[in-house]
């Protein structure tokens, strides 16, 4: 007897995120999704984000124009595209379609970095209450995705978010202060965060963003 495949809908995805699950595909061409619930979770502290002197200088220089939710489907597609040293991706067509649907519902957001009119970096994720679940990022210019992440953190702080889920701790993310927390600790923080009244700001005042970025630097002056 064949096992009937359960249809994964945007609503089911949101329910899963609320309890700490997230989906991945084995490859870009896979037609199966798997739910993950790691024993230890990577979290980027919104109150303890590490902004280096060099990256802060790059942000101030205005090398990139930053927008939000302007090119969500393109950001997802570029995150799924082959990268140097890796020719596959966990983002398949079903994941791309589900996140695009959640974006239309107001629950998935992107941050884009532009240079001379070209989309050169960005990231995307899911927002529920005061929790933001970072999914993936891409960069086609030096520091483009890093600057997008700095702006994401500033926007989340402005919007009243308390949790930035990075899923896993990587060498790349560790430079920003990413910590690994046990599953129980993560889920306690998650349960509180998703009940918060927070909102992702698409177009916050530039002065307010600059103030938040300055605070990130002053919190960690080294």
Percentage of the chain lying above the pLDDT 70 cut: 91
pLDDT in tens, 51-61: 999 999 999 99
Cα–Cα distance, 138 to 4 (Å, whole number): 35
Structure tokens given for 42: 């990577």
Percentage of the chain lying above the pLDDT 90 cut: 73
Helices in the chain by DSSP H: which ranges? 10-18, 53-61, 72-80, 93-104, 144-159, 171-174, 183-193, 206-219
pLDDT surpassing 80 at residue 89: no
Amino acid 221: pLDDT: 53
What mean pLDDT is predicted for residues 176-199?
A: 96
pLDDT surpassing 50 at residue 3: no
Amino acid 1: pLDDT: 39
Domains of the chain: 38-86+109-219 (3.40.630.70)
pLDDT surpassing 50 at residue 148: yes
Average pLDDT taken over every residue of the chain:
90
What mean pLDDT is predicted for residues 74-82?
A: 90
Contact 134, 49 (CB under 8 A): no
pLDDT in tens, 27-41: 776 778 889 899 999
């Amino acid at each position: 007897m064949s096992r009937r495949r359960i249809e994964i809908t945007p609503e089911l995805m949101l329910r899963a995120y609320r309890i700490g699950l997230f989906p991945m595909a084995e490859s870009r061409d896979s037609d199966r999704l798997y739910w993950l619930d790691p024993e230890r979770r990577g979290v980027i502290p919104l109150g303890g984000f590490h902004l280096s002197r060099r990256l802060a200088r790059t942000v101030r220089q205005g090398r990139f124009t930053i927008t939000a939710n302007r090119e969500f489907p393109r950001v997802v597609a570029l995150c799924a595209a082959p990268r140097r040293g890796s020719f596959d991706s966990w983002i398949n067509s079903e994941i791309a379609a589900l996140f695009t649907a959640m974006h239309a519902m107001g629950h998935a957001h992107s941050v884009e970095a532009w240079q001379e009119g070209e989309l050169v970096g960005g990231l995307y994720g899911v927002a529920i209450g005061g929790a933001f679940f970072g999914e993936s990022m891409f960069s086609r210019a030096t520091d483009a995705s890093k600057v997008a992440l700095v702006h994401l953190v500033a926007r989340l702080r402005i919007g009243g978010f308390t949790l930035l889920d990075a899923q896993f701790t990587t060498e790349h993310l560790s430079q920003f202060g990413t910590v690994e927390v046990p599953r129980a600790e993560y889920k306690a923080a998650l349960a509180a965060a998703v009940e918060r009244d927070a909102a992702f700001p698409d177009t916050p005042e530039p002065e307010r963003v600059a103030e938040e970025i300055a605070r990130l630097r002053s919190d960690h002056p080294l």
